[in-house]
Amino acid sequence: MAKFRLDEVDHQILDMLIENTRIPFTDIAKKLLISAGTVHVRVKKLEEAGIIKGSSLTLDYQKLGYSFIAYVGIFLEKTSQTKFVLNRIHEIPYITVAHITTGKFNIFCKVRAKNTKNAKDIIFMIDDIEGVSRTETMISLEESINDKNRLMHSIFNDL
């Protein structure tokens, strides 16, 4: 994989798109004092290089009736079952992200549920997967996301 070098203009284009993917390229061009064609070419290159993998909406899950977030740590009977269990995990629609981890747990995943009853069902579902010996749940009382930390100037400027 050839290393792709991004310059300051790329960073700024990415930052604007991170904040709003539907911002017109003409607006980006105006702010950066370059032409819209240049923005177009650069974004295309970033897509071709795979730096930009896609785009997605940020939804208000609370308003959609999902006000419950939990993290579930999973202990396996044998680590050789990891892939199998991970596949089962992803069949559960309420789980969006899972990690294979070192340390305390073997697998670690995020659950978004409607309420405590719904969450309980999901956790039981995880417990029932073949190979899972036990689970440990952490319930989120409040999620706080720092969107600024997603921007390029945070990513590329060291502390």
Q: Give the residues lining the site for a copy of itself (CB under 8 A).
A: 1, 4, 6, 14, 17-22, 49-60, 63-64, 66, 69, 71, 73, 86, 90, 92-105, 108, 121, 125, 136-146, 148-150, 154-155, 157, 159
Q: Which of 24, 62, 127, 150 binds DNA (CB under 7 A)?
A: 24
- Provide the 8-state DSSP code for 2: P
Asked if 85 and 132 touch (Cβ cutoff 8 Å), the reply is yes
DSSP reduced 3-state for 34: coil
- Alpha carbons within 13 A on the beta-carbon side of 149: 4
Which one of a copy of itself, DNA, none interacts with residue 59, CB within 5 to 8 A by kind? Answer: a copy of itself
Which one of DNA, a copy of itself, none interacts with residue 49, CB within 5 to 8 A by kind? Answer: a copy of itself
> Under the criterion CB under 7 A, does residue 11 sit at the interface with DNA?
no
DSSP reduced 3-state for 45: helix
Asked if 141 and 108 touch (Cβ cutoff 8 Å), the reply is no
Which one of DNA, a copy of itself, none interacts with residue 2, CB within 5 to 8 A by kind? Answer: none
- Long-range Cβ pairs for the range 116-123 (8 Å, 24+): 116/68, 118/68, 118/94, 119/68, 119/70, 122/92, 122/94, 122/95, 123/70, 123/72
Q: Which of 8, 31, 37, 79 binds DNA (CB under 7 A)?
A: 37
**Is 16 or 109 the residue whose CB approaches DNA more closely?**
16
Which one of a copy of itself, DNA, none interacts with residue 26, CB within 5 to 8 A by kind? Answer: DNA
